[in-house]
């Protein structure tokens, strides 16, 4: 996001509706994408988006400008998403930080290099489904770190600010998320490579 | 250092390596290792590709116009949609 805030905080706090509408238009795409990635469901993503802006509206008077407007909105949205995921977890098996590779893990031998697969193969509908399944398999905190850092391009510092944790925690979560996703995609694409070579 | 411990060393810094977050000297060392170690090379390549595929997928996500419309309505801003 831009360094310079294009929306006047002063106008927002004064209840300027045009400024609020401008803020909604400026940030709703990013917040919607975050919610969609976190929940994996368009209806829930829309719900979170609405809830986040309602909370932002009610909380504007408390916004101190200590962090950027974008960070503040990201935080409201991420909290809302994580809260819902926690509610879901109560109904299902708890998925707390499952780790396929621990920090002291070894690089597995005989790795398959699936990078060279044709674009059509990497972007197939089945491959896209596998991507979705893999990201949903991450624990919510790992997923949040991955989405904010790798998909939204936030810095470690900004992501830590949004998720109210330390930069070290963000780094660890990002590493674990990336490794876990690679592991799942690798087993899928390796199998595809084998099937293609047997045709 | 044995070949094995070099791989461990590499894995421990792989995220920082991906983010260009290591000093040039360590980076050189890691890249030298990548030339000699096909396994680590594949590992880092597939890790990069994993992130890349998600970024590609992300680029295709948009806010549907109905979602925007309903959002403005919920916020009582629907007179301001244009
Ligand atoms: Zn190696």
For chain A, domain boundaries: 9-88, 99-197
Q: In this predicted structure, what is the pLDDT of residue A197?
A: 86
Residue A100, pLDDT above cutoff 60: no
Which chain B residues are closer than 8 Å to A178 by Cβ?
15, 18, 47, 50-51
Å from A110 to nearest chain B CA?
A: 7
Q: Which CATH architecture has domain A9-88?
A: Orthogonal Bundle (1.10)
For the domain with range A99-197, which CATH number is right: 3.90.1210.10, 3.20.20.300, 1.10.10.10, 3.30.420.10? 1.10.10.10
Q: In this predicted structure, what is the pLDDT of residue A54?
A: 97
Decide if A150 and B55 are in contact by the 8 Å CB cutoff.
yes
Work out the pLDDT band at A105, boundaries 50, 70, 90: low
Work out the pLDDT band at A92, boundaries 50, 70, 90: low
Work out the pLDDT band at B51, boundaries 50, 70, 90: very high
pLDDT digits (tens, 9 = 90+) for B1-23: 456 788 888 888 898 999 988 99
* Residue located via tokens 């509408």: A21
Q: Which of A36, A37, A50 lies at the smallest CB-CB distance from B71? A: A50
Report d(CA A113, CA A194) in Å as an integer. Answer: 11
Instruction: Assess contact for A195 and A123: CB atoms under 8 A.
Output: no
Which among A5-9, A13-17, A44-48 has the top mean pLDDT?
A44-48
State chain A's mean pLDDT as an integer. 89
Centre of ligand 1 from the C-alpha of residue B30, in Å = 9
Q: What token pair was written down for A142?
A: 């790992």
Q: In this predicted structure, what is the pLDDT of residue A1?
A: 46
Work out the pLDDT band at A106, boundaries 50, 70, 90: low
Which chain B residues are closer than 8 Å to A112 by Cβ?
42
pLDDT digits (tens, 9 = 90+) for A44-75: 999 999 999 999 999 998 888 778 999 999 99
Which chain A residues are closer than 8 Å to B8 by Cβ?
104, 106
For the segment A81-106, the average pLDDT, to the nearest whole number, is: 66
pLDDT above 70 covers a percentage of chain A that reads 87
Instruction: Assess contact for A113 and B46: CB atoms under 8 A.
Output: yes
Q: In this predicted structure, what is the pLDDT of residue B6?
A: 82
For the segment A83-92, the average pLDDT, to the nearest whole number, is: 82
Q: What is the pTM of this model?
A: 0.90
Per DSSP (E only), the strands in chain B are none
Instruction: Assess contact for A33 and B61: CB atoms under 8 A.
Output: yes
Residue A24: closest C-alpha in chain B: B72
CB contacts under 8 A, A 66-85 vs B, are: none
Residue A114: closest C-alpha in chain B: B46
Provide ipTM, 2 decimals: 0.90
Decide if A28 and B63 are in contact by the 8 Å CB cutoff.
yes
Say what the alpha-carbon torsion angle A180, A183, A188, A194 is, to the nearest 10 degrees.
180
Work out the pLDDT band at B44, boundaries 50, 70, 90: very high
Torsion sign over Cα B56, A115, A139, B5: negative
């Amino acid at each position: 996001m831009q360094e310079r805030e294009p929306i006047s905080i002063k106008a927002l706090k004064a209840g300027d509706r045009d400024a609020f509408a401008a803020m909604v238009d400026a940030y709703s795409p990013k917040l919607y994408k975050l919610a969609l990635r976190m929940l994996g469901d368009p209806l829930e993503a829309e719900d979170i988006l609405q809830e986040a802006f309602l909370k932002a509206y009610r909380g504007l008077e408390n916004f101190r400008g200590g962090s950027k407007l974008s960070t503040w909105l990201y935080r409201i949205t991420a909290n809302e998403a994580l809260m819902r995921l926690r509610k879901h977890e109560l109904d299902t098996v708890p998925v707390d930080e499952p780790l396929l590779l621990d920090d002291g893990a070894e690089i597995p031998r005989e790795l398959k290099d699936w990078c060279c697969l044709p674009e059509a193969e990497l972007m197939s509908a089945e491959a896209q489904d596998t991507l979705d399944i893999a990201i949903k398999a991450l624990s919510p905190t790992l997923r949040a770190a991955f989405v904010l850092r790798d998909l939204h391009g936030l810095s470690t510092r900004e992501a830590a600010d949004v998720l109210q944790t330390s930069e070290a925690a963000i780094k660890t979560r990002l590493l674990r998320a990336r490794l876990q996703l690679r592991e799942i995609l690798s087993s899928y694409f390796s199998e595809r490579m084998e099937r293609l070579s047997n045709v | 250092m044995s070949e094995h411990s070099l791989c461990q060393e590499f894995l421990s810094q792989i995220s920082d390596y991906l983010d260009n977050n290591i000093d040039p000297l360590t980076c050189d060392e890691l890249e030298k290792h990548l030339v000699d170690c096909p396994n680590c090379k594949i590992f880092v390549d597939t890790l990069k590709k994993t992130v890349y595929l998600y970024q590609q997928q992300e680029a295709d996500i948009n806010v549907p116009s109905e979602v925007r419309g309903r959002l403005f309505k919920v916020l009582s801003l629907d007179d301001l949609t244009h």
